[in-house]
Structure 1
Amino acid sequence: MIISTDSLACKKWLIPNFICSIVLNILDEFNISYTFYQVNKDLNYSLSQAHQVCDVLYIINYFGVRRINLNIEKCKNKYIIEDNVFSIFTPKSILGVNWCTFNSLRKITHLADGSIINSNFPLNENKRKYDEAPFVKQKYIAKYIKYDYLNFGKYVERDYLDKFAKSEEMLNEQLQIYGMSQQSLSEYLVIVTNYKAEIKHRKLYFEIVNNYLSDYAIKIKTDFYSFAPILIPYRNKIRKALFKHKVFLPVHWPNDSRIENDLSDNILSIPLSTTYKQEDIVNVCKLIVDALKKLEL
């Protein structure tokens, strides 16, 4: 929907060298010309020369941290796309430029779908349906089965894993853009209503991770802590060790042959969702510490 607006596909893009492969796939699908800018291990980057090398600047607010430092006067004829997938809200508009931002609620909350887009230039609304995406029903069924399995001993593990796999397959095959489902919209409003409590819990969980894993934690400060990112040696071996305890931690983002960076081999993300208890976060940290000790012997 964004790319098809104002012929953005025909323009030259500048994107970070630490980015989700799905974004690269979409850019390649539209035959978009792009180059990379460097993202450091602390997730910082410099955009001082961005206005000289691109028409469209793609910025990611890593783990909710907004680090934009631009000369707006020099960028006034440019387009800025602000990827805010790690937050439940969209940031304030950057005035004086063509600006657009979006988030992804399914990636940082328990919601099955939903994304908020905010733009100060018109978007191509013809690309969107107002119906519910087909994968959503499967995803929520999987979540209900998982809840009953974990809390009441109903079903078997394979029942919800198969449903999750099916919903992800449906999502990967999806080409159409859909509106947010009614269920996700209702639950999103509950999250917003209880926003202060949500923030308090997530910040507490983040501090727990930083206390247990202070040598590996990436120091960030944000209004909404979606994940606690850590940089650790033996990352893949650590993940395998956690699998044995049925702990599955995401990687933002895995290696991709199209890019090189200093993060993808070692970064690991610990979810800070309030669907977890405080002891769950502590347990994950202890498992990581134990796994590191065994690997470093």
Structure 2
Amino acid sequence: METQTSKTIGGYFQLSLEQGKEYYPDLIKLNTSRNALEYILIVKGYTKIYLPYFTCEVLLEPIVRLNIKYQFYNINKELEPIIDFEIGPTECLLYTNYFGLTQKTVKKLSESIDNLIVDNAQAFFSKPLQGTDTFYSCRKFFGVSDGAYLQINIDDRLVLEKDSSADRLRHLIGSIDYGIENNYADFLDNEESLKDNYIKSMSLLTQALLRNVNYRECKRKRIENFRYLNDKLFLANELEIAFQDGIPAMVYPLLISKKGIKAKLIEKKIFVPTYWPNVFKWTTEDMFEHRLAKRTIYLPVDQRYNVSDMAYIVDFLKKII
């Protein structure tokens, strides 16, 4: 007896992936975190957004595209927003959960600000608070080329086209055969390809890859690596926030006034990013945000590494600081 099916039977083997579970299976799945912000702005109909000077400039893409007014605000030395303005009923405030380490501030803000948007792009493992609009970035924590999750506290939903990621894997696949350094140009190409994209649903490929992540092990290693670095470096760290133990952070932020540390680390093939170069354009040298962007060294603590790698970083740092 013949039956109709849309499923292909036979043929060549596809990429072998496990059928695991995503970390946020019940959240809205989108292609990028900046588009998750755009989703919120469209559905909520906000007329103005307040956002920190210390943030990534890609967040301006949807704001400019939607022609929404925006205003920057300062943060204090505890990375908390300085709210010396009134947030109107059709306005919102975006706060970044910096490096996944400021969840306490997120909670405090959620209790006092109605139109709060939490940017958890640096805080993948920080669960969203009930009733608080929150978005995440996947590629900042895992080996995927795109992908974002969104929680929004309204029932309205946008009808979206499905994204495709098959042409964005060159830097990920190439790095396995040739190393990260030899595929850095492809990584930059992928970053460029994500600019000014329309809101789309997360691709099937990105979803499949995210179902293969061992999230428990990723959390364990991040916590262990962060704890080691903090134990060894907290006396040298000029960042005035108390790091809560047991947080699977994005990086270890080491604020240090001595110049040239970042360049020496990179020469040693310890690659550390700058968050964010655009902050230099938005701020003056006397502003705290400018110092954060210029003097903070963001040490990797992710699941690719272990305590031995952290010890290697610390041993080298002690020679140059």
Equivalent runs, 1:77-156 vs 2, <5 Å: 78-89=114-125, 91-95=127-131, 99-122=132-155, 125-126=158-159, 128-133=160-165, 137-138=167-168, 140-150=169-179
| Per-residue CA distance 1:235-269 (angstroms, 9 max, x = gap) | 5x222222222222112223242345412221221
Are 2:164 and 2:205, in contact at CA under 8 Å, matched by a contact in 1? no
| Per-residue CA distance 1:67-95 (angstroms, 9 max, x = gap) | 132485x74xx422111112334634344
Deviation at 1:100, TM superposition (A): 1.4
Identical counterparts, % of pairs: 23
Q: Give the alignment's TM-score, normalised by structure 2.
A: 0.73
Matched, 1:238 2:261: yes
**Structure 2 unaligned residues grouped into runs of 5+:** 1-38
Deviation at 1:170, TM superposition (A): 1.7
Q: Figure out how many residues of one structure are paired with residues of the other and give that number.
A: 270
| Per-residue CA distance 1:177-198 (angstroms, 9 max, x = gap) | 233333432332333xx43332
Q: Give the corresponding residue for 2:77.
A: 41
Q: Distance in 2 between matches of 1:12 and 1:49?
A: 13
Q: Give the corresponding residue for 1:14.
A: 50
2:230 is aligned, of 189, 196, 210, to 210
| CA 42–288 in structure 1, closer or farther in 2 if over 3 Å, else same | farther
Deviation at 1:227, TM superposition (A): 1.1
Q: Give the corresponding residue for 2:305.
A: 276
CA RMSD of aligned residues (A): 2.9
Secondary structure in structure 2 of the residue aligned to 1:220? coil
Q: Distance in 2 between matches of 1:269 and 1:51?
A: 32
**Structure 1 unaligned residues grouped into runs of 5+:** 151-155, 293-297
Deviation at 1:231, TM superposition (A): 0.6
Q: Give the corresponding residue for 1:285.
A: 314
Deviation at 1:106, TM superposition (A): 0.4
Q: Distance in 1 between matches of 2:316 and 2:65?
A: 40
Q: Distance in 2 between matches of 1:19 and 1:244?
A: 27
| CA 246–118 in structure 1, closer or farther in 2 if over 3 Å, else same | same
Matched, 1:30 2:66: yes
Q: Give the alignment's TM-score, normalised by structure 1.
A: 0.78
Q: Distance in 2 between matches of 1:169 and 1:52?
A: 35
Q: Distance in 2 between matches of 1:15 and 1:49?
A: 12
| CA 116–257 in structure 1, closer or farther in 2 if over 3 Å, else same | same
Greater mean deviation of Cα atoms: 225-234 or 81-90: 81-90
Secondary structure in structure 2 of the residue aligned to 1:246? coil
Letter in 2 for 1:269: Y
Secondary structure in structure 2 of the residue aligned to 1:58? strand
